[in-house]
Amino acid sequence: MHDRHPRLIVQAVDVADVMASVTFARKHDLPLAVRGGAHSVPGFGTCDGGLVLSLERMRGLRVDPEAHSVRAEGGCTWADLNHATAAFGLATTGGIVSSTGIAGLTLGGGLGFLSRRCGLSCDNLLSADLVTAEGRLLTCDENRHADLFWAIRGGGGNFGVVTSFEYRLHDVADILGGPTFYPLEAEVMRHYREWIAEAPEALGAILGITLGPPLPFLPEAWHGQPVIVVLTCWSGPADEDRAVRERLDRLGPVLGQSVQRMPYPVINTLFDELLPAGLHHYWKGCFTRELSDEAIDVHLDFGARMPCLQSATLLFPIDGACQRVAPDATAFAYRDATFATVIGPSWPEPADSEHNMAWGRAYHEALRPYSEEGGYVNFMSGDDADRVRANYRQNHDRLVEIKRRHDPTNLFRLNQNIAPS
């Protein structure tokens, strides 16, 4: 999607490299792109004529099983972190694709299978080491540089380069997980809506609308056909697995299923091969307080016209622990939403870009009457700059003030930008 040509690429190996790179970019007035896991759909991890600061070599991790915490460098992916913590039967909320970087996901909020039980990734952040626009290293937590600590929990990469994250960990070892496929029918979505509203918080169940993938447990007649998939992650007691399976069976006619006990990290790898590097992506996101019948009709309409096998719409439930955090306690503003929706057209051929992007825009526009004004910043595209105030709602003005204090020249602007003026 993004054919850009930076003047310089720095592959940092330590904090000193990060400090030097930020200082160099500021002194020479160069655009600065910070690259973590390289999952930025808008292409913010690269730039034309500027400096790309890549953290991919900074992947150190240290787990403290007694304190139930982990410190991870900014270049780590969720595969790195999950691998390290799983050895101790511990986990924290992370992304649903293993190659996603911890940095971008956490700074934008952080949705995942454990959100209902454990909160967002940013809710589990205990501290962070951050290099400011002045090239200074600060350790931020509730007591030190508390304004920055508040801002980076949902405010994106607007305030500096986070070189390490310290997370709270939870007792999560094996889970019951995997996909269950259903026909694209309103009743399935209504039954899911009822189930998730009453389900224990240990249930992570993401609803997807996609085209049936070529998986061995899905009949060939459904390959390439519009379907609903419920991605289950039950982190509760194993003796309640049967009840979860029975509830899945009652959502609608099961077309195919692969739900089994597995180590928690495995659930975040199940679809890696269906989304290889090199695809084109364009996302649109929105928050909703309820999955209304009218919104379901929109999902059925556009789901029936899904343009490509790799495309999907995902509804992440964000009730439970996510809603027990006050809307002004972190920069993540939509604590009253129950779903974060991402419309995600993905396709392999450049010639198909216009068609896929038009489908995504029209889908998002059709959902507007049934959605909140703002959306999750990690689901925003490059053409969503006009939505930044709405995305942060009541927290936007405070974020602007913090930006003015710590980055008045807007060095960190290649993001969903909170401008200092």
pTM: 0.96
pLDDT of the residue at 65: 98
- Fold of the domain spanning 61-171: 3.30.465
Residue 109: closest CA among 396, 371, 335, 360: 335
* Residue 150 Cα distances to 94, 118, 126, 188, angstroms: 19, 18, 11, 39
Per the CB < 8 A criterion, the answer to whether 345 and 356 are in contact is yes
Q: Give the pLDDT band of residue 317 (cuts 50, 70, 90).
A: very high
Per the CB < 8 A criterion, the answer to whether 103 and 74 are in contact is yes
Strands of the sheet with 32-35, listed across from one edge = 8-11, 51-54, 32-35
Per the CB < 8 A criterion, the answer to whether 412 and 32 are in contact is yes
pLDDT of the residue at 421: 86
Indicate the helix (H) or strand (E) that contains 186: helix 186-198
Indicate the helix (H) or strand (E) that contains 203: strand 203-211
Q: How far apart are CA 138 and CA 160, in angstroms?
A: 10
Tally of residues, the chain: 421
Instruction: Say whether pLDDT at 17 is over 90.
Output: yes
Q: What percent of the chain has pLDDT over 70?
A: 100
Are 8-54 and 61-171 in the same CATH fold?
no
Q: How far apart are CA 72 and CA 62, in angstroms?
A: 7
pLDDT of the residue at 77: 97
- DSSP string over 371-420: S-S---GGG--TT-GGGHHHHHGGGHHHHHHHHHHH-TT-SS-SSS----
Q: Give the pLDDT band of residue 271 (cuts 50, 70, 90).
A: confident
Q: Where are the domains positioned within the chain?
A: 8-54, 61-171, 174-379
CATH code for the structural domain at 8-54: 3.30.43.10
- Which amino acid, 148? L
- Section 69-91 average pLDDT: 98
- Fold of the domain spanning 174-379: Vanillyl-alcohol Oxidase; Chain A, domain 3 (3.40.462)
Per the CB < 8 A criterion, the answer to whether 7 and 49 are in contact is yes
